């Protein structure tokens, strides 16, 4: 059985004072929640203080991106070992905002995911189609290409989480329906099956991301192949994030 993972992608939000307040509220809210893995991914300058803020709780810490090299003359960049040093257990790689605004390509992302897993951390590899690609009937092709470009048998399945994030649903308030999301998740799992074999593919978590809110979390998470969520906007409000975590806990107790 796959334990649900709910990850909050803070993006470029929160000062130190705001972050401390948010995490204190989340800590309080999640004290009674079990059966769900909880991850927050703050901006990089907040990692050290947030590691302190989550210490002793079930909340795990992740980063939003990483450089592919272990060290060197790469002004402004941060390596995976530095993120590990700051207390990260997970790194998000390939978010569509990284692909679009920072020109990250499949070839580069393949290196980045290996840098993360090579350091013993979990990678959350994001993929998803644009509205134009979906409407043009190219959704399957795009999703499978993004998966094949990066995921191969050399990548340890036990350190891999996939996040399906249709670009048209990110920050738009327009969520994929549970049926639409399940369809793509099943496609991804079947491709993972051809890479790793069906038994290992069954173990890999596939998260959904794109306007996940307390109001739609339960019905998404109830689907067979939706094993958690990558949450943007709603993770910046403690009450909303905790409500999504509660929805995941309920689903996992029903299924498990
Ligand atoms: P959203 O963002 O929940 O605000 O749509 C999700 C994401 O970008 O990971």
pLDDT of residue 255: 54
pLDDT score at 256: 44
pLDDT at 173: 85
Percent of the chain with pLDDT over 70: 99
**Separation of CA 188 and ligand 1 centre (Å):** 20
Condensed to tens digits (0 to 9), the pLDDT of residues 121-168 reads 999 999 999 999 999 999 999 999 999 999 999 999 999 999 999 999
Q: What pLDDT, in 10s, does the model give residues 57-97? A: 999 999 999 999 999 999 999 999 999 999 999 999 999 99
pLDDT tens readout for residues 238-255: 999 999 999 999 988 775
Ligand 1 centre from 73 Cα, in Å? 32
**Ligand 1 pocket check for 30: Cβ under 6 Å:** no
pLDDT in tens, 108-122: 999 999 999 999 999
113 phi and psi, to 5 degrees? -65, -35
Q: Does ligand 1 have an atom closer than 6 angstroms to the CB of 9?
A: yes
Q: Any idea which residue has 């795990």 for tokens?
A: 60
Q: CA 221, CA 230: separation in Å to the nearest integer?
A: 12
Instruction: Evaluate: CB of 231 within 6 angstroms of ligand 1.
Output: yes
Q: How far is the CA of 209 from the centre of ligand 1 (A)?
A: 6
Nearest to 191 by CA among 235, 225, 232, 233: 225
Q: Determine whether 95 is an active site residue.
A: yes
Q: What percent of the chain has pLDDT over 90?
A: 94
CA distances (Å), 95 to each of 60, 99, 164, 221, in order? 19, 6, 10, 21
Question: Which CATH number is 5-255 given?
Answer: 3.20.20.70
């Amino acid at each position: 059985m796959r334990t649900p993972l709910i990850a909050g992608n803070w993006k470029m939000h929160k000062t130190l004072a705001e972050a401390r307040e948010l995490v204190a509220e989340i800590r309080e809210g999640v004290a009674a929640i079990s059966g769900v893995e909880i991850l927050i991914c703050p901006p990089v300058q907040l990692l050290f203080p947030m590691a302190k803020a989550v210490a002793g709780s079930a909340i795990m810490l992740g980063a939003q991106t990483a450089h592919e090299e272990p060290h060197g003359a790469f002004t402004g960049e941060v390596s995976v070992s530095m993120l590990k040093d700051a207390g990260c257990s997970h790194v998000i790689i390939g978010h569509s905002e990284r692909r679009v605004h920072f020109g990250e390509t499949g070839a580069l992302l393949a290196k980045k995911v290996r840098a993360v897993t090579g350091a013993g951390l979990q990678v959350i590899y994001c993929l998803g189609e644009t509205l134009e690609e979906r409407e043009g009937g190219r959704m399957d092709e795009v999703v499978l290409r993004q998966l094949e470009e990066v995921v191969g048998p050399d990548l340890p399945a036990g350190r891999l989480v996939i996040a399906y994030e249709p670009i048209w649903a990110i920050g738009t308030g327009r969520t994929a329906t549970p049926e639409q999301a399940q369809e793509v998740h099943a496609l991804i799992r079947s491709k993972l099956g051809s890479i790793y074999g069906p038994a290992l593919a069954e173990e890999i978590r596939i998260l959904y991301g794109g306007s996940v809110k307390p109001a739609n979390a339960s019905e998404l998470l109830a689907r067979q192949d939706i094993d958690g969520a990558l949450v943007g906007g709603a993770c910046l409000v403690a009450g909303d994030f905790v409500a999504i975590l509660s929805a995941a806990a309920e689903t996992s107790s029903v299924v498990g």
